[in-house]
Amino acid sequence: MAIVNAITAKKASQRAVTSRRMTELADNLERRMFNSVDDFNQLNIETKFVALNARIEAGRAVGESGRAFDVVAQSIQDISRRTGEVAEKLDVEFRCLLKEMREITEDLAIHSRGERLSNLALMNIDLIDRNLYERSCDVRWWATDQSVVDTLMDASPQSLSHANIRLGQILDSYTVYFDIVITDLTGKVLANGRPCSFDSIGTNVATQNWFMSALQTAKGTQYVQSEVIQSPLCGNDNTIIFACAVRKGGQPHGDAIGVLAIVFRWDALAQVIVESTPLSSAEWPQTRVCILDAHGRLLADTAGGFGDLLQVPAWKEIQSSPRGFRMAMLTDEPVCIGHAKSPGYETYRTGWYSLILQKDSAV
Please choose, from the candidates 246, 239, 201, 205, the residue with its C-alpha nearest in 3D space to the C-alpha of residue 223.
246
Please choose, from the candidates 191, 115, 104, the residue with its C-alpha nearest in 3D space to the C-alpha of residue 151.
191
The Cα angle at residue 135 between residues 131 and 141, in degrees rounded to 5 = 140
Please choose, from the candidates 281, 269, 214, 286, the residue with its C-alpha nearest in 3D space to the C-alpha of residue 247.
214
pLDDT digits (tens, 9 = 90+) for 172-231: 999 999 999 999 999 999 999 999 999 999 999 999 999 999 999 999 999 999 999 999
Query: What counts of helices (H) and strands (E) characterise the chain?
Result: 7, 11
pLDDT < 70 stretches in the chain: 1-23, 26, 29-30, 33-34, 36-37, 39-41, 43-44, 46-48, 50-52, 54-55, 57-59, 61-70, 72-73, 105, 361-363
167: left (phi over 0), alpha (psi -120 to 50) or beta: alpha
182 beta partners = 191, 260
The answer to whether 279 and 287 are in contact (CB under 8 A) is yes
CA separation for the pair 237, 85 (Å, rounded): 76
The answer to whether 291 and 299 are in contact (CB under 8 A) is yes
Q: Any residues with CB less than 8 A from the CB of 215 and at least 6 apart, and which? A: 185, 245, 256, 259
Q: Any residues with CB less than 8 A from the CB of 347 and at least 6 apart, and which? A: 133, 136
231 beta partners = 237
Domain spanning 143-269: which superfamily? PAS domain (3.30.450.20)
SS3 298: strand
Domain layout of the chain by residue ranges: 1-135+279-363, 143-269
Note the Cα 170 to chain centre separation in Å.
34
Structurally, at CATH architecture level, domain 1-135+279-363 sits in: 2-Layer Sandwich (3.30)
Alpha carbons within 13 angstroms on the beta-carbon side of residue 259 total: 30
CA separation for the pair 135, 264 (Å, rounded): 8
Tell me what percent of the residues of the chain surpass a pLDDT of 90.
Answer: 64
pLDDT given for residue 40 in this prediction: 66
Q: Whole-prediction pTM value?
A: 0.77
pLDDT given for residue 164 in this prediction: 94
The Cα angle at residue 85 between residues 81 and 89, in degrees rounded to 5 = 170
pLDDT digits (tens, 9 = 90+) for 322-341: 999 999 988 888 999 999 99
The answer to whether 54 and 76 are in contact (CB under 8 A) is yes
> Which residue pairs from 223-232 have beta carbons closer than 8 angstroms and sit at least 24 positions apart in sequence?
223/136, 223/139, 223/140, 225/132, 225/136, 227/293, 228/266, 228/270, 228/293, 228/299, 231/263, 232/200, 232/203
E strands, 165-265, are 177-183, 189-192, 224-225, 229-231, 237-247, 256-265
324 beta partners = 339
CA separation for the pair 231, 292 (Å, rounded): 19
The two domains 1-135+279-363 and 143-269 share their CATH topology (first three levels equal): yes
The Cα angle at residue 118 between residues 125 and 230, in degrees rounded to 5 = 30
Q: Describe the crossing of helices 63-142 and 2-60 by its angle, rounded to 10 degrees.
A: 170
Q: Any residues with CB less than 8 A from the CB of 196 and at least 6 apart, and which? A: none
pLDDT given for residue 121 in this prediction: 97
